[in-house]
Amino acid sequence: MADMPNPFAKADFLARPRNIVKPVLVGGSLTSPWVGMPIFLATICLVGCFYGYTREGPNGVYWLVYGVPLSLAVAVPGVAAAVVQLARRRWLEVTDDGFTILYRDRRRAYKDEQITGVSQRTHVRPEGGYWRWIRLDVHTEDGDESVPCSYLVPPGEGDPLFPLVDRVVRGMARRVVERQAEGARVEGGGWHYDRHGLHVHHGPQRGVYTPEELTCVGVHDQLMCVWRGIETEALLRVPDTSLNAHALGQIVWAFIENRPGLNEPIPGQPLGRLLFVRRGRDAGLAWFMVGFCFLLSLLFIPMSFSKAPLAGYLAFSGLIALFGAPAVWLILRASYLRLAFHQFGVTQPGRRRSLLYADVDRMTWYATFILLEPRAGVGGPSIRFSSVGISEDADVIGMRDHLATVIAQRWWEELGRGPVRWTKRMRLMQTGIEYCPAGFLVDGEPVTAPYHVTSYYLLQMHMDLFVTGAARPVV
């Protein structure tokens, strides 16, 4: 596995920085669904009323009698929400050493040093862009305050508050590291960090851990994870959206980034530390089927009072068995069929199978099926995972791409010694891609296309290989 980059570098943030040229609306947006949805429904009702007004007969009277009150009943909450949003309307302006909140009739300025906590959350919209929620906890002469911010980032644009959040998080971590003797500290949910080290407040790992004991940190499964010593299980896992989680990551990384052996396997644990575990959706489907069987079984109660014939009991019993047997099988299957991804390899704990990433020869990855085959001479069985579905979140996609990169790097080295087999119909050559055109019964003779005239289109489980000049994909 290649050296681990800084997991908290600027380039790893979802939003990209850009210059601030105007204040950002962070409260009271009229694009909120609490405003838009009621008004949209009221508009639909009003259109119906207009339709009814232009019609003669009972239908027109029906629309007028019921449509107008319904429009008002739906519009009133929307108008009330719009009034509330306008009342809490405010803007945030980023300055060189802090930020300023702009209200309709006043301004309130804060310095970076006054910020004691940062929480952030991102929600990607299906239609593009994303919503950002940020909460800045500040300490002033008048006491502690909280500044909540919510705003929409349009598609194709960077987060306008990224420079502020990034600067504040890094500044908090730097102050704690540099001013430990002065009592600097940072707090989060269930932990705090001071000159004595990391304090874990709850659970079996409760205690104080010095910087020398902390050996690894990263964001996995939407959790900020911190490891101690040579342990494979994380010492602390907190949501990366929680208070000061990213500041904790920066602090730990400052102590370990230059430590010798950071990217080396743990003695006796060649797979390295456990990052995250993924299970399929078999259990969810199984429990749904169990619930359906339970509802069917309730029908036996009224059937017993109505003296239903034996055929009715047999029919319902067969229906319950039809759904119940697969449900039991899916529950048993889900109990052992899971994948545990580590730093340097993947395991199937339920089947006691493991494979280093560097030893993966071929990878097949679908939304419902994953197959990792070992290289010749490595030994051991393949890792096979199949389910009705697996959540393809950022961690899973990142691990898939990492495995593809490992295989591609090995192919690049092998390519210097000769052709590399890609699929049954394609080989990678030093001069280009060799492919066999598909025929009606048998494939055609191999053709080599230079790399600079080839391109591809990859979508889910389908890939097209194009060659310049060909009207259709060649493979």
Q: What is the pLDDT of residue 408?
A: 92
Coil/strand/helix, residue 148: strand
Q: Does residue 228 form part of some domain? A: yes
Report the domain count for the chain.
Answer: 4
Q: Are residues 150 and 255 in the same domain?
A: yes
Alpha helices in 188-309 (DSSP H): 245-256, 282-298, 300-306
Q: In terms of domains, do 323 and 458 share one?
A: no
Whether 229 and 286 map to the same domain: the answer is: no
For the chain, the average pLDDT equals: 83
Q: Is residue 211 part of a domain?
A: yes
H or E stretch covering 203: none
For 218-234, the pLDDT digits (tens) are 999 889 999 999 999 99
Summarised one tens digit per residue, pLDDT across range 161-196 is 998 999 999 999 999 988 888 888 999 999 999 999
Range of the domain at 158: 1-10+109-264
Q: How many CA atoms lie within 13 A of 199 on its CB side?
A: 13
In terms of Cα–Cα distance, which of 188, 136, 112 is closest to 27? 136
Q: Are residues 127 and 6 in the same domain?
A: yes
| Residue 460 main-chain phi, psi, to 5 deg | 55, -110
What residue type is assigned to position 339 of the chain?
L
- What local confidence, expressed as pLDDT, does residue 76 receive? 74
- Would you say 402 and 356 are in contact if contact means Cβ atoms under 8 Å apart? no
Whether residue 329 is found in the same domain as residue 214: no
In a domain, residue 26? The reply is: no
Higher pLDDT, 237 or 183: 237
Residue 82's pLDDT is: 73
Residue 19 domain flag? no
94 domain residue, yes or no: no
- Please give the Cα distance from 469 to 475 (Å, whole number): 14
- Which domain-ending residue is among 310, 336, 362? 336
Instruction: Say if 246 falls within a structural domain.
Output: yes
Q: Are residues 152 and 259 in the same domain?
A: yes
Look up the pTM and report it.
0.77
Strand partners, 149: 134
Predicted pLDDT of residue 27: 84
Least trusted range by pLDDT, from 12-26, 55-69, 79-93, 289-303: 12-26
pLDDT of 67 reads 65
Q: Are strands 107-111 and 115-124 parallel, antiparallel or unpaired?
A: unpaired
249 and 179, same structural domain?
A: yes
Residues 156 and 259 in one domain: yes
- Mean pLDDT for 83-97 is 83
More confident residue, 27 or 312: 27
Q: Could you tell me if residue 359 is inside a domain?
A: no
Residue 316 in tokens: 């319902």
Residues 125 and 259 both lie in one domain: yes
Tens-digit pLDDT profile for residues 402-446: 999 999 999 999 998 999 988 888 899 998 999 888 777 777 788
Examine the fold and report which residue of 232, 264, 296 is the final residue of a domain before the chain moves on: 264
Tokens read off for 395: 């961690």
Q: How confident is the model at residue 63 (pLDDT cuts 50, 70, 90)?
A: low
Residues 182 and 225 in one domain: yes
User: Hey, what amino acid is at 239?
Assistant: P
pLDDT in tens, 336-382: 888 999 999 999 988 889 999 999 999 998 888 899 999 888 877 89
In a shared domain, residues 4 and 66: no
DSSP string, 343-367: SSEEEETTTTEEEEGGGEEEEEE-S
> Would you call 227 exposed, middle or buried from its count of C-beta atoms within 10 A (0-12, 13-18, 19+)?
buried
Please determine, for residue 121, whether its predicted confidence score (pLDDT) is greater than 50: yes
C-alpha 368/C-alpha 163 separation (Å) is: 39
Residue 249 shares a structural domain with residue 304:
no
Please determine, for residue 215, whether its predicted confidence score (pLDDT) is greater than 80: yes
Asked if residue 382 belongs to a domain, the reply is no
